[in-house]
Structure 1
Amino acid sequence: MTQSKPPFDDPLEAAFTQARQTMPPLPDGLMARVLADAAAEMPRPVRQPWWRQIFGTLGGWPAVAGLAMTACVGVWVGGTLTDDLMLSLSPLDEATLDFGAGLGAFDLLLVDG
């Protein structure tokens, strides 16, 4: 069985209840000093140049180097293979693929089996 509180009013409990309801007065400027100390301890964001922000978003220097190399290879392949590999449409709207003789190592990819 649980015991219930006695029916009489305890003067000590009444004093505790009154103390919980009233807020003690703060000294002048205490809250302002606490907030100033808290603001001084907050970390400040470091401003970075725009190019570092972009490189960081892309994944850093290794990722940017990979993207630059891919762009260079794309320009090289686009400039070199356009003469050798041409797609032409005949007047009958059928597509023919013309493979030139100068494909180099790419001709191994065209062999079946």
Structure 2
Amino acid sequence: MTQSKPPFDDPLEAAFAEARRMPPPVPDGLLARVIADAGAERPRSARQPLWRQIFGTLGGWPAMAGLAMTACVGIWAGGALTDDLMLALTPLDAATLDIGTGLGAFDLLLVDG
């Protein structure tokens, strides 16, 4: 369903049509000043080094400290607690898993190959 125009000319509609045909004059330099102000207000994204991006992705310094501590405990537990776990095995299992004396599980890390 379409609306039909009224049969008479609306003076307000004629004024709007005239305004749409002729854009208002812009003072010299106004557009340049507006763009310069907009550029000054725009937030700048500073390029960060790769290590900061990685730390930020992983959760920052607190999370990295937790990861480092977990890695240290894992290395300590893997080396120090392995001999105690070997004693809990049956003699048959201990004979098959015997790595000798020395640094415990760290002996396996020192082997080249």
Please state which band the TM-score falls in when normalised by the shorter chain.
0.5 to 0.7
Give the TM-score taking structure 2 as reference length. Answer: 0.59
More strand per residue:
1
Q: What is the distance in 2 between the residues matched to 1:31 and 1:77?
A: 68
Q: Deviations over 1:47-83 (max 9, x none)?
A: 4444333222211222111111111111111112334
Q: Which has the higher contact order (CA 8 A, sep 6+)?
A: 2
Alignment match, 1:31: 31
Task: Read off the aligned partner of 2:69 and give its amino acid letter.
Answer: M
- Unaligned 5+ runs, structure 1: 87-95, 100-113
Report % sequence identity.
76
Give the TM-score taking structure 1 as reference length. Answer: 0.59
Alignment match, 1:79: 79
Alignment match, 1:10: 10
Q: What is the distance in 2 between the residues matched to 1:67 and 1:78?
A: 16
TM-superposed deviation, 1:37: 1.2
Matched position secondary structure for 1:35: helix
What is the count of residue pairs matched by the alignment? 88
Q: Deviations over 1:35-56 (max 9, x none)?
A: 0111011122234444333222
Residues 1:12 and 1:49: Cα distance change in structure 2 (over 3 Å): closer
Matched position secondary structure for 2:82: coil
